[in-house]
A and B are shown apart, each in its own frame.
Chain A
Amino acid sequence: MSDEVRPATRPEDATRAISPKITDPNLVVRSLSLWYGGSQALHDVSLVIPRNQITAFIGPSGCGKSTLLRCFNRLNDLISTVRIEGDILFEGHSIYDPAEDINALRKRIGMVFQKSNPFPKSIYENIAYGPKIQGVKKKQTLDAIVEKSLRGAALWDEVKDRLGESALSLSGGQQQRLCIARAIAVEPEVILLDEPCSALDPIATTKIEQLMTDLKEQYTLVIVTHNMQQASRISDHTAFLYMGQLIEYQETEKLFINPIMKQTEDYITGRFG
């Protein structure tokens, strides 16, 4: 907020963005670059994600924020043309270490997608799927996990009487909360959310936002959003990406009220994007 922090001349072509002071890092991105075949989608991005807080990535479409998010659980590996340089440290260990167990990593770093993607199974089976994959077999344990996860996603009261029904019979907002419940059922440490509310109406969005605020007590949350009000409402830190570059990373309040970079200001005031 103070004028001293803000440089007199805005560094339009700065290669290093400004970063906030983070005391308890959970994920550390170190000069990450990513190419889809010949085209570069991320340019030398470095940032630190704090534990038990909500970090939001904003930016115009195609700026690479979803790509960056999908680097954390290595979902980009599924695309054969992707090439990655740089590194991401999770709890101090490189997740791109060749010895890294990718399935174990994805269990620790859960994800909720832009479009709700329940499996074509019953509500119960959707939640129990992850624990079953991890080897949980006992019915009582599974029952307990299902209830706990659904309560955690504030969905229990709405579905407790119809756990056997198809998950696809739920409304859009319920499906998205089911996906959150499914993600927390495997007890991850981090939850990545890729525009989780973009297909939802305002009431469902409010519920999910409320839920995220509750969840950060236990989990580190990283959310990609198009909705700047949403980022400002719920996140603790916000990163602005543009054309694959991290332009500015700040405490949310600072970024929205007093952005340092001109591009950030232009974006959040609606001059482009």
Chain B
Amino acid sequence: MSIRPKHRKGDPLGDGLTALCGGALALNLVLVFALLWVLLVNAAGHFWQKELILFERIDAPPLLGEVHDREPIPAQSDSGVSPGDRVRIRVGNRELSGGDFVWLDLTTVTRESRPDDGVLLERLEWGNFYGTMVELRRGEEVLATGPDRVWSAFQAIHLEKQREFEALHRFEKGQIGDVNYRLERIHSAQRKLEFEQPDPETLGRRSEELDRRKETAEVEFEALTRQLFAMREEFVAETLVMEAADGTRKEMAVGEVVRAVQPNRIGTFSTLSLYASRIKEFLFDAPRESNTEGGIFPAIFGTVMMVFIMSFAVAPFGVLAALYLREYARQGFLVRVLRIAVNNLAGVPSIVFGMFGLGFLVYLIGGSIDQLFYPEVLPRPTFGTGGILWASLTLALLTVPVVIVATEEGLAAVPRIVREGSLALGATKFETTWRVVVPAAAPGILTGLILAMARAAGEVAPLMIVGMVKLAPSLPIDSHFPFFHLERKFMHLGFHIYDLGFQSPNVEATKPLVFATAFLLIAVVTVMNLLAIAVRNHLVNKYATSAV
């Protein structure tokens, strides 16, 4: 009896399955790109300067602004024909009109024009101003009148004011900040002295010394403050009179203007450089106006720093635990239970870790540190309140199962024969583990770390209770000893998204920023992952091993 091969036409089931698999992958890719595309499109338009349009109306004052939306007005009940379009205009001038955006029924508009002398001012306070320039003054002295002359006179002064603004900022953060810091140190030293209660002689000597230091610092501080007031006065010396579309006049200091643009006059190149300058501001400046304007640099910084501290905590912790579980513990019932427990830990809702971080890390450990090392400032907490260290450690606990599981798999993939090769040379178990097994498993360990970093960078909920804030006054790293201030509160991109989107006083204006921040969060996570992947590839190349 012979078996004849079955005659078949192709392999429809196999082909179908292949197509299905390919389709699933394609769908995933489409989703990923759609996600990035939606974020990017919504974000990118925000930084692009639109034209200024002046709408003149039948029986209302004219409006000047940027058109952001256009939609047909829904039809009246029976006619079925839409009476026309309406547009959403950003008119700015919040202090005059009360809001940034208005809806305008185009049927009431008699004339649309693009005035050449229409000016957009981005300001430190009160948001954008749209209008025309009327007059430039210094005190009572009039420097220029009329839109064109004011515009050209304004440029030089504005440049000067921007330099002054930088100087002011440096002065406040630098010299005044230093003296402030010194005063604070002296103050806490005094508190400490009171708290310690040494013998009267030492007490007298030291408190006298502190008083003397305090006095010098205060004198210095006063001088600096006077200087600061002088600088501020100079900063607001020149004022600009603007006229809104409805004829209202508004006087403001030139120093208050961040950026002045004549959108209907600038060419493509200027629009592009304006775009670049706005993106730069977004990436590298601190936020203004309760986060609705300015940049998000502190949030980027906080996110990256937190993830790095988290990695430094979770890597040794997770790797050592996995080493014990895989290499040293006797494989049996207990280890199996432990392994299941570790896996389940990965499934615990993150907010629960947040509560644990608050109860254990912040209150118990942080509180104990305060009592041991900073008793003089109590009840004001130092470490006994949320901060970047506790947030990082909370996330380290959250992600440790990921590292343990990945490390265990990396270790398990190192062939037994390689271990035996080392033992057969007279190496001890420890030497074998440390010098052969761990290096061979390093790529696997790094994969775990990459996953942990990605998870940590995106986590928001637990951080809200262990130290993340809407606006942090200073970065966790600065020029004051000990440079890393791990007890400080910090800003985070994930929370910033939530804050911009749901807590903002000016939701419509910040909507594009929500998308931009989300895109940036993805970019930051991607960059950190690429770094880790580069390290891993370097290791794989170095040890090109068949094991992993």
- Which of A's residues lie within 8 Å of B, judged by CB? 73, 75, 78, 80, 103-107, 110-111, 113, 115, 117-121, 129-130, 133-134, 166, 168-169, 179, 182-183, 186
Q: Judge whether B424 and A75 touch: CB under 8 Å.
A: yes
The interface residues of chain B lying within 8 Å CB-to-CB of A118 are 421
Give bound CA distance, A111 to B431, whole Å.
Answer: 18
The interface residues of chain B lying within 8 Å CB-to-CB of A78 are 420, 423
- Which of B's residues lie within 8 Å of A, judged by CB? 330, 415, 417-418, 420-428, 431, 435-436, 439-440, 542-547
Q: Judge whether B426 and A133 touch: CB under 8 Å.
A: yes
Q: Judge whether B431 and A117 touch: CB under 8 Å.
A: no
Q: Judge whether B418 and A182 touch: CB under 8 Å.
A: no
Give bound CA distance, A121 to B547, whole Å.
Answer: 12
Q: Judge whether B426 and A130 touch: CB under 8 Å.
A: yes
User: Pick the contact of B425 from A80, A107, A121 — CB < 8 Å?
Assistant: A107
Give bound CA distance, A152 to B420, whole Å.
Answer: 22
User: Of all chain A residues, which has the CB nearest B439?
Assistant: A120
Give bound CA distance, A153 to B440, whole Å.
Answer: 25
User: Pick the contact of B440 from A106, A113, A119, A134 — CB < 8 Å?
Assistant: A119
Q: Judge whether B421 and A186 touch: CB under 8 Å.
A: no
Give bound CA distance, A71 to B385, whole Å.
Answer: 61
Give 12 CB contacts A-B under 8 Å: A75-B420, A103-B426, A106-B424, A106-B426, A111-B420, A113-B424, A117-B418, A133-B427, A133-B435, A179-B421, A182-B425, A183-B425
Most buried by B among A106, A120, A134: A120
Q: Judge whether A119 and B421 touch: CB under 8 Å.
A: yes
Give bound CA distance, A110 to B424, whole Å.
Answer: 6
Known pairs A103-B428, A121-B439; list 10 more (Cβ under 8 Å). A106-B424, A113-B420, A133-B426, A133-B431, A134-B426, A166-B542, A166-B543, A182-B421, A182-B425, A186-B425
The interface residues of chain B lying within 8 Å CB-to-CB of A80 are 330
Known: A120-B545, A129-B435, A168-B545. A106 touches B423 (CB 8 A): yes
User: Of all chain A residues, which has the CB nearest B427?
Assistant: A133
Taking the closest CB of chain A, its distance from the CB of B438, in whole angstroms, is: 11
Known: A113-B417, A179-B421. A120 touches B547 (CB 8 A): yes
Give bound CA distance, A107 to B422, whole Å.
Answer: 10
Most buried by A among B417, B422, B424, B544: B424
The interface residues of chain B lying within 8 Å CB-to-CB of A168 are 543-546
User: Of all chain B residues, which has the CB nearest A101?
Assistant: B426
Known: A129-B422, A129-B435. A103 touches B544 (CB 8 A): no
User: Of all chain B residues, which has the CB nearest A130?
Assistant: B425
Taking the closest CB of chain B, its distance from the CB of A266, in whole angstroms, is: 32
Known: A119-B436, A120-B547, A166-B544. A133 touches B425 (CB 8 A): yes
Taking the closest CB of chain B, its distance from the CB of A181, in whole angstroms, is: 12
The interface residues of chain B lying within 8 Å CB-to-CB of A129 are 422, 425, 427, 435-436
User: Of all chain A residues, which has the CB nearest B442?
Assistant: A120
The interface residues of chain A lying within 8 Å CB-to-CB of B424 are 73, 75, 106, 110-111, 113, 183
Q: Judge whether B426 and A120 touch: CB under 8 Å.
A: no
Q: Judge whether B426 and A107 touch: CB under 8 Å.
A: yes
